[in-house]
Amino acid sequence: MTHKPAKLFRRFGAILYDLLLVLSLIFVLGLVFFWFFPASDTQTNPAFFFVITLPVSFGYFAFFWRKSGQTLGMLAWRIQLITHNAKKITLKHCLIRYILSILSWLAFGLGFFYQWFNGSKYCFHDQYSHTCIIQIA
């Protein structure tokens, strides 16, 4: 069975949707943290937010990818993550995909636009994590 790769527009729509959800999660965690550990009078350590951002966002994506192959944003935009060999998505798939997609963003989105220039029509992090995002009904 062949699957239709998700278009870049749908991917970016899902990314924006998920970004808002992840930022909300980080905001709530920050509030809880500062409630229990009030900042000193000197200065709040901004590194805290960087330290919680990566594991919290990875946890969000990995949870949903492993559960159903769809985050809430992907569900809304009718796209789904699957593996190339139709097996269950593992934590290793998630971690490789997460790290490579961050690198894709840091390279001004080139890893995403790579979809337009390769024969398989998948993004850079799709190919190297052995997963792909497909369009569903």
Contact indicator for 92, 99 with CB cutoff of 8 Å: no
Summarize the confidence of residues 107-117 as an average pLDDT. Answer: 90
Percent of the chain with pLDDT over 90: 61
Summarize the confidence of residues 9-19 as an average pLDDT. Answer: 96
Residue 134 has pLDDT above 90, yes or no: yes
Domain spans, the chain: 8-135
pLDDT band at residue 115 using 50, 70 and 90 as cut-offs? confident
Residue 24 has pLDDT above 70, yes or no: yes
Summarize the confidence of residues 7-15 as an average pLDDT. Answer: 95
pLDDT digits (tens, 9 = 90+) for 34-86: 777 776 544 566 676 777 789 999 999 999 999 999 999 999 999 999 999 98
Amino acid letter for position 72: L
Spatial distance between the Cα atoms of 123 and 113, rounded to a whole number of angstroms: 7
User: If you write DSSP's letter for every residue of 51-100 in order, what string do you get?
Assistant: HHHHHHHHHHHHHHHHHTS--HHHHHTTEEEEETTSPPPPHHHHHHHHHH
What pLDDT sits at residue 107? 94
What pLDDT sits at residue 45? 64
